[in-house]
Amino acid sequence: MNNSANENLRELLAGFMDEAAARQTAEDIEKGEEILGANQAPQPDERVLAEVKKNVVAALRRRRTVVFQKRILGAAVAAAIVVVSVLTMIRYGNLSNSHQTRMVAASIPSRVWEGADDADVTVLKAEIENIQSELSGVQSDDTGGNGSTAVDDLETELIEVNGDMWKG
Amino acid sequence: MAQHDIEQVIIGCNKGDEGCFTQLVDIYGRRCFGYFYRLTGNRDLSDELLSELFVKLVEKIGTYRGGSFDGWIFTMASNIFHDHLRFKQRQTRLLDGHSKRIMSQSAGVASGYDGDADKLQMALGELDSGVRELVMMRFYSQMSFKEIAESRQEPIGTILSKVHRGLRKLRELMG
């Protein structure tokens, strides 16, 4: 593809100046570009290009790992939403507050997220940990006056984190 | 390479195909190196910037939304060059505070020569840095003036005028 060759320079310049000036300007540009063409820059060393390719492949593999980790994190956040929703139902409904629910909530992120190095993943991981600690607080304060508000806030926060997750 | 073929390579890149990414290095590596070399006058630095460009391309390929891929990749190359200039500027300010003198040094054209600079490289060093970059962008990206104006968000008349001024001076200097 050579877009610069496809444009009609004289026609383009005629929109800004009279015909003679457009002809002269086009000639200056064309002759100037001929000089550039006749004095090519040195070529990169083949070893450099091979190194660039190696770096590209390494970057691509790193990226695949991060995308995979993000997907798992997304699943973990979704699971956390389910847990908080169940907690909300327990609070407002008559479901029993089972020990099993607490176990699931406590085990979500730490098993999966060791070694994540992408900045987004790290932020999301920190948010999950924060939510997990808030969840523990809510669970241990079943009779507190603000318990229902705290559960609602937590659920909202989890939904936002999940949204960010899928937006990437 | 035909636009259709490039599009096939980009589709492969979006699927994470390593072979397609290395193909892009084969297609654009030499041109992008030439662009960086003519702006910096330094081979080692051009090698570094080239590597940075293609690693960034891996991260950003998903943001390409069609249109001229040449324009897209050279806009990214230009951003990388400007990031480099800003970094050097900050670094130099910290060292001695002579920021104005350093701006031209960090462009590499005056003091960054690696010893085997040709006549054209010396002549390019005489151009205003913004004009020099536009002339190089036009030559290596093969973008039309309209595409350059869109990518730089500047009026096409301004771009035409700057490139004309730069190339006319280059002709005089190369005499």
d(CA B162, CA B122): 19
Assess whether pLDDT exceeds 70 at residue B23: yes
Cα distance between residue B6 and residue A157, in whole Å = 43
A41 vs B117: CA distance, rounded Å:
9
User: For residue B49, what pLDDT is reported?
Assistant: 97
Task: Yes or no: say if A70 and A120 are a contact pair by the CB < 8 Å rule.
Answer: yes
Shared domain for A124 and A103, answered yes or no, is yes
- Would A22 be classed as within a structural domain? yes
Overall domain count for chain A: 2
**In chain A, what residues touch B59 (CB-CB under 8 Å)?**
59, 63
Question: Which region among A144-158, B42-56, B79-93 has the lowest average model confidence (pLDDT)?
Answer: A144-158
How many other β-carbons are positioned within 10 Å of the β-carbon of residue A133?
10
Task: Give B34's contacts (C-beta < 8 A, 6+ positions apart).
Answer: A40, A41, B140
* Closest residue on chain A to B170 (Cα): A32
Handedness of CA B32, B37, B43, B46 (dihedral sign): negative
Q: Verify that A99 and A159 share a domain, yes or no.
A: yes
Please tell me the distance in Å from B157's CA to the nearest CA on chain A: 7
Q: Quick check: is A43 in a domain?
A: no
- Please list every residue in chain B whose beta carbon sits closer than 8 Å to the beta carbon of residue A45: 47
A121 and A140 belong to one structural domain = yes
8 Å CB contact of B167 and A56: no
**CB-CB contact of B160 with B145 (8 Å):** yes
A3 found inside a domain: no
Check CB contact under 8 Å for A35 and B3.
Answer: no
In this structure, the answer to whether residues A33 and A52 fall within a common structural domain is no
Residue A74 lies in a domain: yes
Q: Is the same domain home to A57 and A32? A: no
Maximum alpha-carbon separation in chain B: 51
A66 and A118 assigned to the same domain: yes
Determine, yes or no, domain membership for A20.
yes
A31 and A52 belong to one structural domain: no
**Residue A29 sits at the chain B interface (C-beta within 8 Å):** yes
Cβ–Cβ of A59/B59 closer than 8 Å?
yes
Write out the residue range of the structural domain in which residue A12 sits. Answer: 8-38
Mean pLDDT by 10 residues, chain A (168 residues): 70 92 93 93 94 95 79 80 79 58 52 54 72 69 56 71 61
A133 and A106, same domain (yes or no): yes
* pLDDT in the model for residue B114: 59
How far is residue A116's CA from residue A126's CA, in Å, rounded to a whole number? 11
Nearest to B75 by CA among B24, B23, B133, B18: B133
Residues A107 and A83 in one domain: yes
Q: Are residues A70 and A99 in the same domain?
A: yes
Chain A nearest C-alpha distance from B11 (Å): 15
Do residues A110 and A68 both lie within one domain?
A: yes
Angle at A56 between CA A54 and CA A62, to 5 degrees: 105
- In total, the C-beta contacts within 8 angstroms joining chain A to chain B are 127
Any A CB within 8 A of B74 CB: no
A positions 34-63 inside 8 Å of B (CB): 35-37, 39-45, 48-49, 51-53, 55-57, 59-60, 63
The reported pLDDT for the residue numbered B111 is 46
pLDDT digits (tens, 9 = 90+) for A77-123: 888 888 877 877 777 765 555 555 555 555 555 545 454 456 666 77
| ipTM (interface predicted TM) | 0.82
Pair (A54, A103) in one structural domain: yes
Q: Is B60 on the interface with A (CB under 8 A)?
A: no
What share of chain B in percent tops pLDDT 90? Answer: 72
